């Protein structure tokens, strides 16, 4: 039978994309893993792989087509024995209303979900509510052989069940595989939030005034939706502290002198990343994310760092930041930031994390309040370090380099006292930086 190849969801926030380039032509035979197309998402341009084998019967969407809805048909795959004229009837579904309908149809190809938030074509649901991902061919074979897909472990990307997993497998053998690896769970991206004002009503306010209309690209729309969602649904509260940096600046100068031969230069932000990562280990209950009906307490300290790029921002994630040296963090952060600015990050490099850092100190900002990056539990907004008069413990007046920080906290995940404990641990690490080298 002819199978539809649907527009994939290649990022957790993707609702539509641009089919930038076909890497196959009509009549080409493809195998699982072959590259089919390049898709421009809201974040980057990514390659789309085949899951099943067959012959490309018809390309339904032309190269360069923008605003192609996720789950709308973009091509037809012919299986062995299918007639070429089977490609004539299935139309491409490109409207928003077509996406839910397309999700109910058989799908020939879909990317492996790269994070818990990645969307995917609709699949079967197990008894415990877990979504089961299987290729259309695997589902058809399973139906013909009477196999229960809930009892089969997939060998495809991220646990997807493919033809090889069900071919020749007796039903009894399939039932015995219940203890196999868990299947991928992929809830869809959050629905777009309605705008508080439509374009016509706003433009009417400025009738007769000169202005330039700037269309929103995918990234800017996603940023708008996610930040609106965050402020409307997350109960933020804010904790503020001043941090004296003189010990840190002295240590940084000494370490950079020693690292110069290796071409490594530590920034204050590298120390902040390390301080936050170690603080999350000291206060493990605060190393947590919100999961709707539960809180997930993470073991490692995975730190997201906001990186400004043209038209938006990325938050690349430094995995296991608590166990990495300052020099390794510096090198890794430099690489992630450079690839973020050129939009070369893979989804797994900017998804996840339990804690974020947004540093505007290098732009002269004294202090600010940052918006939490869901599902994370907190974000630290970092201001500039400036010389200020301070009163020492003995009551004398002196001058110190002081940096103001504000931690935005999700009250569903972290209570006030726990948040204060976490921020105190961060402050201690930064004011006593040698402790981070022990």
Does residue 278 sit within a domain?
A: yes
Q: What is the pLDDT of residues 128-171, one digit of tens each?
A: 556 676 766 677 677 777 777 777 777 665 566 776 677 655 54
- Alpha-carbon span 367 to 359, nearest angstrom: 10
276 and 371 share a domain?
Answer: yes
222 and 242 share a domain?
Answer: no
Per residue of the chain (438 residues), give pLDDT as tens.
Answer: 678 899 988 776 678 889 989 999 999 999 888 889 988 876 677 888 888 888 999 999 999 898 899 889 999 998 766 655 444 444 444 333 333 333 333 334 434 333 433 333 334 555 555 667 676 667 767 777 777 777 777 766 556 677 667 765 554 444 433 333 332 333 333 334 344 467 888 888 898 999 998 887 777 888 888 888 899 999 999 999 999 999 999 999 999 999 999 999 999 999 999 999 999 999 999 999 999 999 999 999 999 999 998 878 899 999 999 999 999 999 999 999 999 998 888 888 999 999 999 999 999 999 999 999 999 999 999 999 999 999 998 999 999 999 999 999 999 999 999 999 999 999 999 999 999 998
Q: Which helix (DSSP H) or strand (DSSP E) does residue 356 occupy?
A: strand 355-359
170 and 317 share a domain?
Answer: no
91 and 221 share a domain?
Answer: no
Does residue 221 sit within a domain?
A: yes
334 and 294 share a domain?
Answer: yes
195 and 322 share a domain?
Answer: no
Model pLDDT, residue 124: 56
Does residue 186 sit within a domain?
A: no
Does residue 183 sit within a domain?
A: no
Peptide bond connecting 199 to the previous residue in cis, omega within 30 degrees of 0 = no
- Alpha-carbon span 321 to 328, nearest angstrom: 9
287 and 422 share a domain?
Answer: yes
In SS3 terms, 306-322 reads as: CEEECCEEECCEECCHH
User: Which distant-in-sequence residues (6+ apart) come within 8 Å of 107 by Cβ?
Assistant: 3, 4, 5, 6, 71, 121, 122, 135, 136
207 and 277 share a domain?
Answer: no
What's the CA dihedral at 202, 203, 205, 209 to 10 degrees? 140
212 and 284 share a domain?
Answer: no
Q: Give the predicted TM-score (pTM) of the model.
A: 0.61
Q: Which range of residues forms the domain containing residue 43?
A: 2-175
Does residue 180 sit within a domain?
A: no
257 and 304 share a domain?
Answer: yes
Per the structure, the count of domains in the chain is: 3
CATH number, domain with residue 292: 3.30.559.10
- Alpha-carbon span 233 to 227, nearest angstrom: 10
CATH number, domain with residue 48: 2.40.50.100
Model pLDDT, residue 169: 57
Provide the annotated active-site residues.
Answer: 411
Q: Which residue from 286, 314, 327, 405 is spatially nearest to 13, judged by alpha carbons?
A: 314
Does residue 72 sit within a domain?
A: yes
142 and 242 share a domain?
Answer: no
Does residue 275 sit within a domain?
A: yes
Does residue 332 sit within a domain?
A: yes
261 and 333 share a domain?
Answer: yes
Helix or strand or coil: residue 178?
A: coil
């Amino acid at each position: 039978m002819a199978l539809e190849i649907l527009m994939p969801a290649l990022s957790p926030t993707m609702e539509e994309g641009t089919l930038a380039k076909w890497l196959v032509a009509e009549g080409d035979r493809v195998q699982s893993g072959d590259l089919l197309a390049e898709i421009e998402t809201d974040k980057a341009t990514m390659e789309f792989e085949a899951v099943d084998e067959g012959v490309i019967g018809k390309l339904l969407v032309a190269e360069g087509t923008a605003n192609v809805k996720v789950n709308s048909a973009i091509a037809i795959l012919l299986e062995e024995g299918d007639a070429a004229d089977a490609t004539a009837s299935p139309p491409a579904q490109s409207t928003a209303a077509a996406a839910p309908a397309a999700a109910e149809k058989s799908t020939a190809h879909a990317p492996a979900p790269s994070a818990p938030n990645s969307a995917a074509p609709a699949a079967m649901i197990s008894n415990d509510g877990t979504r089961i991902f299987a290729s259309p061919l695997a589902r058809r074979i399973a139906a013909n052989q009477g196999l229960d897909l809930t009892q089969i472990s997939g060998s495809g990307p991220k646990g997807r069940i493919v033809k090889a997993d069900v071919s020749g497998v007796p039903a009894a053998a399939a039932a015995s595989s219940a203890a196999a690896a868990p299947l991928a769970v992929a809830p869809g991206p959050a629905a777009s939030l309605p705008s508080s004002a439509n374009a016509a009503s706003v433009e009417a306010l400025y009738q007769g005034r000169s202005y330039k209309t700037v269309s929103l690209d995918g990234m800017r729309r996603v940023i708008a939706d996610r930040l609106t969602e965050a402020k409307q649904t997350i109960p933020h509260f804010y904790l503020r502290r001043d941090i004296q940096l003189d010990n840190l600046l002295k240590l940084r100068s000494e370490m950079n002198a020693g690292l110069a031969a290796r071409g490594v230069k530590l920034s204050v932000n590298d120390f902040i990343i390390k301080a936050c990562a170690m603080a999350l280990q000291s206060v493990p209950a605060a190393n947590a994310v919100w999961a709707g009906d539960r809180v997930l307490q993470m073991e490692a300290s995975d730190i997201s760092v906001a990186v400004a790029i043209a038209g938006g921002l990325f938050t690349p994630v430094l995995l296991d930041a608590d166990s990495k040296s300052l020099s390794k963090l510096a090198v890794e952060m430099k690489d992630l930031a450079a690839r973020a600015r050129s939009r070369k990050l893979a989804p797994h490099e900017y998804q996840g994390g339990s804690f974020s850092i947004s540093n505007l100190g290098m732009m002269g900002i004294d202090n600010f309040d940052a918006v939490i990056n869901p599902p994370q539990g907190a974000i630290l907004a970092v201001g500039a370090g400036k010389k200020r008069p301070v009163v020492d413990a003995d009551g004398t007046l002196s001058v110190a380099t002081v940096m103001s920080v504000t931690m935005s906290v999700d009250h569903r995940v972290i209570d006030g006292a726990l948040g204060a404990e976490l921020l105190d641990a961060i402050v201690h690490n930064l004011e006593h930086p040698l402790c981070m080298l022990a």
